[in-house]
Amino acid sequence: MQVFSVLLFLLFGIIGCAMLQDAPTVEISASRLTCDQIPAMVDSDLKTVGTFVARGSIKKGFVKRVSDAPQQYQRRIEGSLKTETLIKLDAPTYIEYVEVYPASAIRNLILDAAVKPPDGKLSFETVEDKRGIKVEGTLPVKFQIGREILYLRLTANALEDPENVRHNDEERKMWIPLKGASIREVKFYGRE
C-alpha cells in the first residue's frame, strides 16, 4: 500500500510539474499582425468586415460547337474563382491555432503557413485542419496550426453576386459577377 501511495504521489507530481512548464495559450496582439490587402481582417474589431477581392465573373449561355450540332448550355468562369489574402506577423511566432470569424458564407476556405527562410523565398505549407471547408453562419471556426509561422495565407472561392446579373436576351446569355467572401476577424493564438 505504501508503494502504491508513493507511485501515485510521483505520478501526480510529474504531471503537475509538466502542466506548470507549458506556457498558456494567449491571443496574439493585433498590433503584431498586418494584412496589407484587407486590414479590417486583423484590426481586433469584430464590428469591421474585410472582404476578399474577386476578379472574375461567370458567363452562362448557349454555345454551338459544330455547325450542324445542337446548341449546348455552358457555364464558364471568366477571370478567377480564387480569392486570397496574406497576413503577416511581426516576427516568426509559434501559433497554436487561428480563429476565423466569418461575416458571410465562405466556400473552400484554405489556410497555408510559411516562415521566411534565409534565402528569402516564401514556401507555403498546407494547414491540413479543416482544409477546403464550406463555412456557413457567423460562428468562429478554429484551425489548428501547431508550428512557428511568419505568414498565413487565406484562400477562398468567390461567391456569385445574383443582384448584379447582366442579361443579353438576343444572344441568350448572362453574366454573373463574382464577389468575395467576408470575414470580421482572424485571431491568432500562441505562446508568449
* 89 in Cβ contact with 75 (< 8 Å): no
DSSP one-letter code for 131: T
* pLDDT at 182 (0 to 100): 96
165 φ/ψ angles, rounded to the nearest 5 degrees: -75, 135
41 φ/ψ angles, rounded to the nearest 5 degrees: -75, -20
Termini Cα distance of the chain: 43
> Per DSSP, what are the bridge partners of residue 93?
149
C-alpha cell at 180: 468575395
> Per DSSP, what are the bridge partners of residue 94?
148
Please tell me the distance from the alpha carbon of residue 61 to that of residue 177, in angstroms, as a whole number. 15
* pLDDT at 6 (0 to 100): 52
Q: What is the pLDDT along the chain (192 residues), one digit of tens a residue?
A: 565 565 555 555 555 555 545 678 899 999 999 999 999 999 999 999 999 999 989 888 877 666 676 777 788 888 899 999 999 999 999 999 999 999 999 999 999 999 877 777 888 999 999 888 999 989 999 999 999 999 999 999 999 998 988 887 777 788 899 999 999 999 999 986
Please tell me the distance from the alpha carbon of residue 168 to that of residue 178, in angstroms, as a whole number. 18
Task: State whether residue 66 is helix, strand or coil.
Answer: coil
- What's the number of CA atoms in the CB half-sphere (13 Å) around residue 16? 6
| pTM exceeds 0.85, yes or no | no
* 41 in Cβ contact with 186 (< 8 Å): yes
Q: Which amino acid is at 52?
A: F
Helix (H) or strand (E) holding 17: helix 2-21
Please tell me the distance from the alpha carbon of residue 100 to that of residue 186, in angstroms, as a whole number. 5
Q: Which amino acid is at 82?
A: K
- The full length of the chain comes to 192
Helix (H) or strand (E) holding 108: strand 106-114
Please tell me the distance from the alpha carbon of residue 32 to that of residue 42, in angstroms, as a whole number. 9
